[in-house]
Structure 1
Amino acid sequence: MESAGTARSPRKNLPVEARRELLTQAALRVMKRDGVGAATTRAICAEAGMPHGAFHYCFRSKRELYAALLTTDIDVDLSAVWPEVDPGAPPADNLRTLFRAYWETVVADPDAQRVLTDLTGLALREPELSGLPAWEHRSYLERTAENLDRFAAEAHVEYARGTAEMAEMVLTVFSGATTLWLSHRDDDAARETLDRYAVLLAGLVRPRS
């Protein structure tokens, strides 16, 4: 039978970034299963199959871990959707395609969305985590703006408002839609809301001059 020490030994030679990723995913599993409050450094390391000291070797604080967890939601990969954006299609159709692709990443793991919502709430209450919600918001805005710029390039369009303003509007709607969906879990209602918003936002999109 394999001992705990033997089971952990292959991870001793992992680079720091690989260990950080393993600990981040372990923290998410603990939080999804037992709640954010149960994610002590010992519980996270045990879940990852690492000695307790590994946590402070990879993260300077829990704040840094929480930032890494929030980044997993910010860094959504939309690469598969860009080939589906058709420059000849109405802007509302292309926006609907983009919104639905992002939304599928939300509904794919509702427990992860719940954890991330709980983390943001915790950060608003804990002094040591002050500044983290603002950092999260800025990061979301930057990534959303990048996706909107990419969308404009792929669809051959431009916006009637600045990209930053458009990103704020999109982020506000998705944040609200996610919170409501976590409450009622009505997939059809959530998708219908986003489809309607795609039509509204298309009013601020025009062919590139």
Structure 2
Amino acid sequence: MSRRTALCDAAGIGRAPGCASTTSRWTVLDPTSRTPRRMLRAYREAGAARAVRAYLDELGRLSQCRVSGAEVEHAERSAVSRMSAAERRPALIEAGLRVIAREGIAGASTRAIVAEAGMSLASFHYAFESREAFLDELTAAVVARETQAVLPLPEVDGDLREVIEAGFLRYLEHLRADPAHEQAMLELTQHALRAPERHPLAVAQYRRYADFAEEALTLAAERAGVAWRVSVSEVAGVLVAFSDGITLNWLVHRDDRAALAAARAAADALSRMADPTGPEPTAPQ
């Protein structure tokens, strides 16, 4: 039996001449080992719709058999149908971020989001009670990602200004690596401010920012051995305002040097809101 026929036999798809098959459609050939395995079933059960498409495409290329669009669609539907709500939510959130960054909040309909995720509309309502609940969880997910990007603060042997600056630099790395997420967050803020019933979403978003800033500033003060002259929540508000300006300015200009200069100035200003907790160092005799 030729390799081409063996591949077609193993796949049970692509009825090209010489590719008659009597095996299950979910039995496929692992191209690396040339051993028949139920790889596609494993992909399907893992809920990897995109992996299913990629695997079918690769299988069709290797076997020179044509994989029809209907077969790919069937495989993707089968993969998604086995996903739990907990598995669907992260995939839908990532899809929503891409749509919002690309099309704006107005273009982020539930249909657009599920199309981006390769899911059905029913999948969305299975995972989220409403579009607003989805947007709230999306906001929380992005803020958590920002927190993970900055905290714990880098180990810096220096004063408070240097510790805060190191945190800003970590955030700038996160911003440069994935600007679409921050752009989507700005869209979400504007969306929440346009109607009174959605305003609590903006309040919740900035409460999360403030909580994150308070945690970072508390750690920075402990590490530098200083105490804030005002409440840490007040300092956190200033930090969030600086971060907003740096973020928006970088998204507009994509100027790394300007962002770095702004971060250093912000770190200097914030460090002046604290006093040392220990005794003043004595001058050498």
TM-score after normalising by structure 2: 0.66
Label 1:131 to 1:79 Cα distance change in 2 as closer, same or farther (>3 A): closer
Aligned counterpart, 1:135: 204
The counterpart of 2:155, out of the listed 84, 89, 96, is 84
Flag structure 1 segments of 5+ consecutive residues without an equivalent.
none
Q: Which of 69, 74, 78 is the equivalent residue of 2:138?
A: 69
Give the structure 2 partner of residue 152 of structure 1: 221
Q: Tell me, what secondary structure is at the counterpart of 1:158?
A: strand
Conserved 8 A contact 1:85-1:155: no
> Residue 186 of structure 1 corresponds to which residue in structure 2?
255
Distance in 2 between the 1:132 and 1:139 partners? 11
Q: Render the CA deviation track for 1:161-206: whole Å, top value 9, x for unaligned.
A: 2111110110011112222222222221121011012112112233
Distance in 2 between residues matched to 1:55 and 1:112, nearest whole Å? 20
Equivalent in the alignment of 2:173? 104
Deviates more, 1:136-145 or 1:68-77: 68-77
Following superposition, the deviation at residue 148 of structure 1 comes to 1.5
1:114-166 C-alpha deviation (Å, 9 max, x unpaired): 22212211211134423111111111111111122222333343222211111
5+ residue gaps, structure 2: 1-66, 279-285
- The amino acid across from 2:81 in the alignment is K
Q: Which of 238, 241, 245 is residue 176 of structure 1 equivalent to?
A: 245
Contact 1:124 1:133 in 2 (8 A): yes
Partner of 2:38: none
Give the Cα separation in 2 of the matches to 1:167 and 1:5. 51
How many angstroms apart in 1 are the aligned matches of 2:183 and 2:193? 16
Change (3 A) 1:185 1:78: closer
Equivalent AA in structure 2 for residue 67 of structure 1? D
- Match of residue 97 from structure 2: 28
Code of the residue aligned with 1:150 in structure 2: it is: L
Question: 1:121 and 1:80, CA in 2 relative to 1: closer, same or farther beyond 3 A?
Answer: closer
Larger RCO (alpha carbons 8 Å, 6+ apart): 1
6-15 or 192-201: bigger deviation: 6-15
Inter-CA distance 127–56: structure 2 relative to 1 (3 Å threshold): farther
> Does 1:39 find its partner at 2:123?
no
In structure 2, how many angstroms separate the alpha carbons of the residues matched to 1:178 and 1:73? 14
Distance 2:154 2:254 in 1: 29
Q: Matched residues in 1 for 2:250 and 2:89: separation?
A: 31
Q: Secondary structure in 2 aligned to 1:3?
A: helix
Moved more, 123-132 or 96-105: 123-132
Amino-acid identity (%): 33
Greater fraction helix: 1
Deviating runs (4+, > 6 A) in structure 1? none
1:197 to 2:266 alignment: yes
Q: 1:96 aligns to what SS in structure 2?
A: helix
Return the alpha-carbon distance in structure 2 between the equivalents of residues 16 and 158 of structure 1. Answer: 45
State the shift of 1:79 in Å: 6.0
TM superposition shift of 1:106: 1.7
Paired with 2:204 and 2:264, the residues of 1 have a C-alpha distance of: 29
Q: Secondary structure at the match of 2:275?
A: strand
Kindly state the Cα deviation for residue 80 of structure 1 after the two structures are TM-superposed.
6.6
- Aligned alpha-carbon RMSD (Å): 2.0
**1:93 equivalent among 162, 184, 196:** 162
Which is greater in Rg?
A: 2
